[in-house]
Amino acid sequence: MKTLEAIFKRRSIRQYKPGEISQQDIETLLKAAMAAPTARNCQEWEFVVVRDKNMFKKMLEIHPYARMLEHADCAIVVCGNTQREHAPGYWMADCGAATQNILLAATELGIGSVWLGVYPNQDRMDGLSRLLKLPAHVKPLNIISLGLPAEHPAEVDRFDPAKIHYELW
């Protein structure tokens, strides 16, 4: 699959069919994440891979919009290590770039994925940090739910020329 094809084909997949994502594919997703750019090459990302269904149930208690985890095979929690950032706040953009790479790589591999926002909701951040026993300097940005897709939504053209400004507003 070519890059632009993956970008335009990527959709949020919330319904999964039974089946397992291979460990090799999980590692490919994580390699793709770590190929993302970061401010001053900080690479402040950290990842928690969760496959335990009991953990998914606990995550559902923390994140009210994570119902798709009930049928997911895997989740990757993308976190920022604030001890590695050169300036406060860059971890969010850097981990967002890593997240997008995971979503695009999942699309190419035929894996369904959806980005579940955690940051900046403090209750979700605190609950997930406790559940995953994250050190205080590691902040969860999101949960990426992964599974074999049971739905195949059509591509959507979101291009809007009215949102483009050249030189000045």
Residue 77 lies in a domain: yes
pLDDT of res. 1:
79
Residue 160 lies in a domain: no
Question: How many domains are contained in the chain?
Answer: 1
Confidence of residue 155 (pLDDT cuts 50, 70, 90): very high
pTM of the model: 0.96
Peptide bond into 120 cis (omega under 30): yes
Residue 156 lies in a domain: no
Mean pLDDT computed over 41-48: 97
pLDDT of res. 87:
86
**Residues 113, 146: contact at Cβ < 8 Å?**
yes
Residue 159 lies in a domain: no
**Residues 26, 51: contact at Cβ < 8 Å?**
no
Domain assignment of residue 95, given as a range? 3-149
- Please choose, from the candidates 9, 4, 21, the residue with its C-alpha nearest in 3D space to the C-alpha of residue 107: 9
Residue 13 lies in a domain: yes
Residue 54, pLDDT > 90, answer yes
Residue 72 lies in a domain: yes
Residue 61, pLDDT > 90, answer yes
- Residue 36: CATH number of its domain: 3.40.109.10
Residue 130 lies in a domain: yes
Residue 163 lies in a domain: no
